[in-house]
Chains A and B, each alone.
Chain A
Amino acid sequence: MLEIRDLHAKAGDKPVLKGIDLVVRPGEVHAIMGPNASGKSTLAHVLAGRDGFAVTGGSVAWKGKDLFAMTPEQRAREGIFLGFQYPVEIPGVGNTYFLKSAYNAVRKHRGEPEMDAADFLTLIKEKAKLVELSDGLLTRPVNEGFSGGEKKRNEILQMAVLDPALAILDETDSGLDIDALKIVGHGINALRNRDRAIVLITHFPRLLNYVVPDVVHVLIDGRLVKSGHRELALQLEAKGYGWLEGGK
């Protein structure tokens, strides 16, 4: 579904990704772990198409198509979802209205009729239960005045509604207390299915106690230096990243 081949990219002028190879198939959950500044967020942003990052080599195919030929909104409509490390506030724009517009943009792209406000309200209320978001937060402006935990739960709500084929969750666990982490973890697990792939990007292994990945990759200095099973995450928890950084 997602095939990354020898990907090189710069953030501004600085080379950050230095040859990434990764294949993600439907239903798989991958964890990408690494120390700060190893290139984790850059990888997420390059895949989503953010400005300010230049691809300098390699290729990424999404369902057989060239990912880099698509605009960010086309990628989103084709089923790629990025859960933001720092979800953005949009003052004055209601959370439900925002998500309904996004949802209908995706439906329109698929040639489906737009959903009206009443049906959408039913849908979003149903999905909100998954991450225990109150009705009050659905009518408030997007992320405005939300706590850190509420923002992250709101990201998972958006994922649940938009139903993407691939969800890249960038440090979704950062800044969460243990209760919020459980809720978010539970939400992600509920959204696991055989058609959807999930890429968890994280610094700490603790999220992986709640969402058990099929594969764990370690990203250091722009390269995936090691891949393994869940045990690799446990090793990292015990030993840190130092023992893998020797090679650079």
Chain B
Amino acid sequence: MADKTIENLTSQEYRWGFVTDIEAETVPKGLSEDVVRLISAKKGEPAWLLEWRLKAYRHWLTMKEPRWANVHYPPIDYQDIHYYAAPKAKPKNLDEIDPEIRRTYEKLGIPLAEQEMLAGVAVDAVFDSVSVATTFKDKLAKLGIVFCSFSDAVREHPDLVRKWLGSVVPTTDNFFATLNSAVFSDGSFCYIPKGVRCPMELSTYFRINAKDTGQFERTLIIAEEGAYVSYLEGCTAPMRDTNQLHAAVVELVALDDATVRYSTVQNWYPGDRDGKGGIFNFVTKRGRCKGRNSRISWTQVETGSAITWKYPSCILQGENSVGEFYSVALANHRQQADTGTKMIHIGKNTKSTVISKGISAGHGQNSYRGLVQILPGAENARNYSQCDSLLIGDRCGAHTFPRLDVQNPSAQVEHEASTSRIGEDQLFYCRQRGLSTEDAVNMIVSGFCRRVFKELPMEFAVESQKLLAVSLEGSVG
């Protein structure tokens, strides 16, 4: 009985697996200095940025792909990937966007048209590698907020980009981040000036469309003194039976008294039930609490990707700065997730909170990997970590790799962990009250994730709950 229900729930098809048929401009497969130069040239970049890319590329050649994560996959042939793809016709405004692309977004439920934007979400839509359109840009501009594609930022705000690019994740940081530095094609840029509270949630919607295309986007968010911004990122990808590489970099900077909240709902194609196809999601996300009393908060709901390798982290440099990480990660079918966070306490009185909820179903393998590091100068640093795992069925796995490195005796570090299984008794209790097995599972899973959902903006919380339900549909007993 239980097995059969697991069977049903795990057999749910990916609902966003359609392919958009548009003419794409693609650079031939493979990676070389010439390809890096070509990408830079296509984007009309200044010389310093090309140099920056080349430096990264040359360093990348000396690096090895990391293998320490608790994930297993066949070797990636980096010469068998297109490093650049863009829709050929470049739109000037919203009305000029290729109708096919707009239909794609409509299927995804993204309100791209301005009149639908009353919901208060400004979207910078990234279709393959080029940002297609940025809505609400003008309204934000009046407040001095810059929210645009990365390419536009390079053209229109080169000094800001040059000042902050790589200041949190340097070009030499790690294999995938360095690769991204060499070949990133677009992404989002956001700058909130001193004392400004961004009046709406900013949102980027990423989508990988072209076949065999690696997507290497780069996001940079800067909150000046006293600024506040909440940023949402959502991702989907069409169904392909080959694996696609996604190696993004996100850098956040918070100056004195600034707050950056970054929320992700990641729903990349996870592959089919046998583990064929799906996105390899190797992402570097890091925030730097540079100023006093600054705050960076990561909230993620990870339901997609064949492999997730991702550790949104905070460098707590400013005194009294606060770092937070709230995560729900689901691994169903043959999905593998190795995710967690690093909280690096440098400044005095810095605080961090880590709440991680891992759900494993089918043959899914879910690992939490975390580092809490208290450096010698971090007087009175505080950390609280809670890592809970929920198992659905008996073929999945949950693993926890927490690391604490405390170099200052005044620190207070707490770590709690638990692993539980959706019990036959819980399910029976719910069913005896009239709930179907699926409703019961969804309810139990939502309850398990509640602490994290509370941190998401309202619409996202509702969306995440639905997404989790869909991802588990047909999966439990």
Contacts and interface: CB of A to CB of B under 8 A. Distances in A.
B432 A82 contact: yes
Contacts of B446: 92-93
B1 interface: yes
Given A51-B1, A72-B428, A93-B444, A162 B451 contact: no
Contacts of B428: 48, 50-51, 72, 88
Interface stretch (B63-71, B318-326, B374-382, B433-441): B433-441
Contact of A72 (B426, B432, B448): B432
A90 B444 contact: yes
A102 interface: yes
Interface in A59-111: 71-73, 75-77, 81-82, 84, 86-88, 90-93, 98-99, 101-103, 105-106, 109
A172 interface: no
Given A51-B424, A88-B426, A92-B450, A76 B443 contact: no
A158 B429 CA distance: 12
A99 B432 CA distance: 12
A35 interface: no
Nearest 6 A/B pairs, CB to CB = A92-B447, A93-B447, A102-B433, A88-B429, A105-B434, A92-B450
Contacts, number: 79
A181 B430 CA distance: 25
Contacts of B448: 91-92
A106 B426 CA distance: 19
B312 to A, nearest CB: 23
Interface of B: 1-2, 423-426, 428-437, 439, 443-444, 446-451
Nearest to A51: B1
28 contacts: A48-B432, A50-B428, A51-B2, A51-B424, A52-B424, A72-B428, A72-B431, A72-B432, A73-B431, A73-B436, A76-B431, A76-B433, A76-B434, A82-B432, A88-B425, A90-B426, A90-B430, A90-B447, A91-B447, A92-B449, A92-B451, A93-B447, A98-B443, A101-B443, A102-B434, A105-B434, A105-B439, A162-B433
B426 A77 contact: no
B315 to A, nearest CB: 31
Contacts of A105: 433-436, 439
A205 to B, nearest CB: 27
A87 B426 CA distance: 9
A141 interface: yes
A8 to B, nearest CB: 21
A101 B439 contact: yes
Of listed B431, B439, B448, residue having the most chain A CB within 10 A: B431
Interface of A: 48-52, 71-73, 75-77, 81-82, 84, 86-88, 90-93, 98-99, 101-103, 105-106, 109, 141, 158, 162
Contact of A90 (B424, B429, B431, B437): B429
Given A90-B444, A93-B446, A101 B435 contact: yes
Contacts of A49: 431-432
Interface centre among A52, A75, A98 (most CB of B within 10 A): A98
Contacts of B429: 84, 87-88, 90
A73 B426 contact: no
Contacts of B432: 48-49, 72-73, 75-76, 81-82, 84
Given A73-B437, A76-B432, 20 more contacts: A48-B428, A48-B432, A51-B2, A71-B431, A72-B428, A75-B432, A76-B431, A76-B434, A84-B432, A87-B429, A88-B423, A92-B446, A92-B448, A93-B443, A93-B447, A98-B433, A103-B434, A105-B436, A109-B434, A162-B434
A108 B126 CA distance: 43
B443 A90 contact: yes
A51 B447 CA distance: 24
A75 B429 CA distance: 13
Contacts of A86: 425
Contacts of B2: 51
Contacts of A84: 429, 432
Contacts of A101: 435, 439, 443
Contacts of A82: 432
A240 B265 CA distance: 62
Nearest to B443: A93
B357 to A, nearest CB: 10
Nearest to A73: B431
Nearest to A141: B447
Contacts of B434: 73, 76-77, 102-103, 105-106, 109, 162
Contacts of B437: 73
B334 to A, nearest CB: 27
Q: Among B2, B434, B447, B449, find the residue whose CB has the most chain A CB atoms closer than 10 A.
A: B434
**Interface core residue of B423, B426, B428, B446 (most chain A CB under 10 Å):** B428
A72 B430 CA distance: 10
Contacts of A106: 434
A144 to B, nearest CB: 9
Contacts of A103: 434
